[in-house]
Amino acid sequence: MSENIEKKLATVKYNCDVHCHLHPNQADCLICESKCCEYVCPAHVYEWSEERQELMVNFENCLECGACKIACEKKSLGWEYPKGTKGVIFKQG
Amino acid sequence: METTTDVIVVGGGPAGISAAITIARAGLKVILIERGRFSGAKNVFGGAIYTKPTKEIFPDFETSAPLERKNIMHKYAILGEEDSTVVSYNNKNAEASSYTVIRAKFDRWMADEAKKAGVIIVEETVVKELIVEEGFVVGVKTELEDIGAKLVILADGVNSLLARQIGLRDDIETKDVALSVKEVIKLDKEKINDRFNLEDGEGCVYQLFGGSMLGKLGLGFLYTNENSVSIGLGITLNELTENKITPYELLEGIKKHPTIAPLIKGGELLEYSAHLIPEGGYKKIPQLCANGVMIAGDAAMLVDNLHWEGTNLAMISGKLAAETAIEAIEKNDFSEECLSAYSEKLENSFILKDLKAYRFLMEAAHDRRESFFGYYFKKINEFFESFTSVDSIPKREKYWNFLKNFVIGRNILEIFKDIWGVLKILWGIIVP
């Protein structure tokens, strides 16, 4: 992750869940050509690991915008809101 | 279902709160369910709220709501690679048409007003799905319990998973939403006043064209708050997927532009945020009601992106949905037919009239984005560069050169396509 986005995300307050609310279909990710979730996500939640051949999901950084679900080339990204008490807490929105 | 009420409103933003408070004021029972820790915790906008529509819901908000600055200055800046052309409209003495607000404070204030009016607000609760019985929406399933109601108003925001669940709309496409990223940058009040030529309490709004988004369907914005500046952009999602760029890189580009950088210099980043903006326009508005349910605000794609209006459409659509709900409860008729009065109310209001007037806008903007958002912006800056340079070249020669380059730089067929696009937009505006 670039230093630039890391610094930005450090300003965001979260109440992180231990359970992930984003569910990529890894079989689809494996054959997905664009892997566009890697760059449409404003919080750099997604990163393809060549080594593990798997889409890594840093869901703790999620800003809950929904861009990944809409952009997903395979239309197979399971996306739900974090539990009521969890997720991002914007203070300056 | 153990708990029942007259109306359940899902989502505690401007649409949901306006709906809920209108229903409570009519003496009916209403439960508003918000997934955030408080109203505003999940919300992001530019932004400014608009005075007149806000007064329709909260007549005294100007004296009691947490407002940042009254906007008296509107600037439109076309950013080139390093130059810019700026048009500014100012009126210090006019009635305030808009105020900047921080949503975490303002939405919370609205929610408190709703509580005072008798709305039961349930926070930190996600509605998992709508309960449908015999073709009618009769309640909601939350994480903890099922709640029954005569009617449900969906004001659950741009992603509206619930509208999708019951088939009121299709999946959203990438060209129908813009991704917005924003930074709120702390700056002293005096510094803001000096840099933007303002006095205490006065605000300035910048609309930013071009820059790092030259040729792309995206715009930047800058708003002054009391002790901070909000800077951000909205870019259509398909621009990101097609160009393989990240939204925060684009924002860095805007922040570094020589016209913008001095305005935010030395400021401390308070918060970074992101949100989707529904920008599909008139043709992408979902079905607005069904048996036992209505849909308002962002969830109904009610955004007038040309004028940067969204919260006002949300508030008024929420109010109209509430008025329809009140009538339906009086008649004890919750059928789609009865609730279609809500669609009619929207049709007769500025909301659908405006969106309909701009019905060809997004199509043309998508088709001609490279020229509308690129070529012509470049030419405007080039014109002023030539107009302001003193270089002993005769002026007539300069004008001819500009015209010649204008035509050479653009295939004649493309120019005709651009003109056709503009005519189509104008046709939509003039002809109902």
Model confidence over A32-66: pLDDT tens digits?
999 999 999 999 999 999 999 999 999 999 999 99
What is the CATH T-level fold of the domain B175-278, as seen in this structure?
A: D-Amino Acid Oxidase; Chain A, domain 2 (3.30.9)
Q: Which residue of B has its CA nearest to A73?
A: B241
CB-nearest to B41 from A43, A66, A89 is: A89
ipTM above 0.90 for this complex: yes
Around B3, how many Cα atoms within 13 Å sit in the side-chain half-sphere?
A: 15
Q: How confident is the model at residue A1 (pLDDT cuts 50, 70, 90)?
A: low
Q: Enter the pTM of the model.
A: 0.95
Inter-chain residue contact B275 with A85, CB threshold 8 Å: no
Residue in chain A nearest B234 by alpha carbon = A42
Q: Please indicate whether, in this complex, the C-beta atoms of A91 and B104 are within 8 angstroms of each other.
A: yes
- Which pLDDT does position B2 carry in this prediction? 75
Q: Which residues of A touch B244 (CB under 8 A)?
A: 34, 36, 39
Closest chain A residue to the Cα of B241, Cα to Cα: A36
Q: Are B49 and B109 in contact (CB under 8 A)?
A: no
| Cα–Cα distance, B225 to A16 (Å, whole number) | 29
- Any chain A CB within 8 A of the CB of B241? yes
Q: pLDDT in tens for each of the 432 residues of chain B?
A: 778 999 999 999 999 999 999 999 999 999 999 999 999 999 999 999 999 999 999 999 999 999 999 999 999 999 999 999 999 999 988 888 999 999 999 999 999 999 999 999 999 999 999 999 999 999 999 999 999 999 999 999 999 999 999 999 999 999 999 999 999 999 999 999 999 999 999 999 999 999 999 999 999 999 999 999 999 999 999 999 999 999 999 999 999 999 999 999 999 999 999 999 999 999 999 999 999 999 999 999 999 999 999 999 999 999 999 999 999 999 999 999 999 999 999 999 999 999 999 999 999 999 999 999 999 999 999 999 999 999 999 999 999 999 999 888 888 888 899 999 999 999 999 988
* Residue type at B295 in one-letter notation: I
Intra-chain end-to-end CA distance of chain A, in Å: 24
Q: Which two tokens stand for residue A61?
A: 């950084």
With b meaning 16 or more CB within 10 Å and e meaning fewer, what string describes B301-337? bbbbbeebbbbbbbbbbbbbbbbbbbebbeeeebebe
Q: Which residues pair with B129 in a beta bridge?
A: B141
- Radius of gyration, CA atoms only, chain A: 13
CA–CA min distance A9, chain B (Å): 7
Distant-in-sequence, close-in-space partners of B427: CB < 8 Å, separation ≥ 6: B360
Chain B: give the shortest CA distance to residue A25, in Å: 18
Task: List B residues 44-73 in contact with A (Cβ-Cβ < 8 A).
Answer: 44-45
Q: Does A25 touch chain B (CB under 8 A)?
A: no
Phi, psi values for residue A2, rounded to 5°: -70, 155
The helix/strand/coil state of B205 is: strand
- CB–CB of B149/B7 below 8 Å? yes
Q: Could you tell me the residue ranges of all domains in chain B?
A: 3-66+101-169+286-357, 175-278, 361-430
Nearest CA to B179 out of B315, B279, B303, B107 is that of: B279
Q: How many CA atoms lie within 13 A of B315 on its CB side?
A: 19
Which residues in chain A touch residue B241, judged by CB atoms under 8 angstroms apart?
A: 34, 36, 40, 71
Query: Are the Cβ atoms of A70 and B173 closer than 8 angstroms?
Result: yes
Question: CB distance B248–A4 less than 8 Å?
Answer: yes
B172 and A70 within 8 Å at the Cβ level: the answer is yes
State the alpha helices, DSSP H only, in B244-375: 247-256, 261-264, 311-331, 336-348, 350-357, 361-367, 369-370
| Domain B3-66+101-169+286-357 -> CATH class | alpha beta
Interchain CB contact of B296 with A (< 8 Å): no
Q: How long is chain A? A: 93
CB-based contact A36 B44, cutoff 8 Å: no
* CA dihedral angle for residue B18, residue B22, residue B24, residue B28, rounded to 10 degrees: -130
Which chain A residues touch B228 with a CB distance below 8 Å?
A: 92
Which residues of A, range 32-61, sit inside 8 Å of B by Cβ? Answer: 34, 36, 39-44
> Given this model, what pLDDT does residue B17 score?
98
pLDDT at residue B274, as a whole number: 98
**CA neighbor of A45 nearest in space, from B189, B311, B137, B246:** B246
Q: Which residues of A touch B240 (CB under 8 A)?
A: 36, 39-40, 67, 71
All structural domains of chain A, each given as residue ranges with its CATH number in brackets, are 17-81 (3.30.70.20)
B/e letters for B117-155, b = 16+ CB within 10 Å, e = fewer, are eebbbbbbbbbbebbbeeebbbbbebeeebbbbbbbbbb
The pair of structure tokens assigned to B27 is: 């003496």
Pick from B43, B161, B248: CB nearest A93: B43
Q: Is B178 helix (H, G, I), strand (E, B) or coil?
A: strand
B13 to chain A: which residues are within 8 Å by CB? Answer: none
* B181 interface with A at CB cutoff 8 Å: yes
